Amino acid sequence: MGLYPQPNQWQCGPFALKHALVTLGIFADEKHITKIAGTHWWYGTDDIQLSKAAKQYKCKMMIIRRHDPEQARRELVAYLRRGIPTLLCVNEWEHWITVVKEESGQFIALDSADDAVLTILPWRQLKRIWVYHEQDELDKSFVRTIYDYHPVLPKRRVQTKARFSISRARFLRRYENRTLSQNWDKYVADLLDLCKPRTALSEKVISLGEFFRRHEEMIIDQVSYWHGTVTPRQARSLLKQFRLVADTYGLVIHEEDEKRAIAGITSLTTLWAAGKYGSMPVYGEKKARK
């Protein structure tokens, strides 16, 4: 047993921790987190279990309790402004979400219960779902309000952190972008095989936007030629999603890796097209043996 009741939705704890780690550029498998935490469908996942799982990824998940909502808000914002994602157990301690950004009094959260995954919560709404009401065992008329939060701090310096914004969150909440928001971690993992985080020492690098300015038409032409049914508009939409993810993490391509990136992006786009729209034979149908 942890300090707090376990959420009823047993999958939401590992989901929340996974996305906190992804925000820090640490890629974790949700099933692996579930196994480490010892999550069970009849038991849920408490703070102690998630803290144990976080340690496996060289992170510390803090356990902080406040009773005053304004104090809790100020402290939460302070962590978010340092780029530290924070887990909250909401809905009277029944559901975990991950808060990753505060901007102009609005909070960006990742929530497994939201179809778009990424959600925007004004402070009034966040406060309403965040508070837990604890009734005194002796005096039933006395109810204490509790605001618990759990920053996830990396024990070592991470190479990249996600830079979310309200405008990006709104873009990802659009219906046509649901696939991107629901598979955000997969997009980031694929791009990290081809790109690197920009640092103060980065030299001779180009952004993904500049990369597509140079090579987008060639990539689209090749994918359309090989596949035959993908329109340039459809392929361009995927490249736009790649660019959004790269910009969010500050990923760039080193000039010496430019040719490799062309091959990698073209391969990813071709696999996406074949999986989404089906694949036609490239060199004609193979005749069956008699």
pLDDT in tens, 184-232: 989 998 998 999 888 766 788 999 999 999 999 999 988 887 666 788 8
Residue 5: pLDDT over 50: no
Residue ranges covered by each domain of the chain: 12-154, 183-277
- For the domain bounded by 12-154, which CATH number is listed? 3.90.70.10
Q: Which residue has the higher pLDDT, 136 or 277?
A: 277
Residue with tokens 């359309």: 224
Q: Is 245 exposed, middle or buried (0-12, 13-18, 19+ CB in 10 A)?
A: buried
DSSP, res 94: T
Residue 3: pLDDT over 70: no
Residue 289: pLDDT over 60: no
Backbone angles phi, psi at 127, to 5 degrees: -60, -40
What is the SS3 assignment for 279? Answer: coil
Q: How do strand 132-135 and strand 118-122 relate by DSSP bridges?
A: unpaired
Retrieve residue 248's tokens. Answer: 């969010």
Residue type at position 143: V
d(CA 184, CA 64): 28
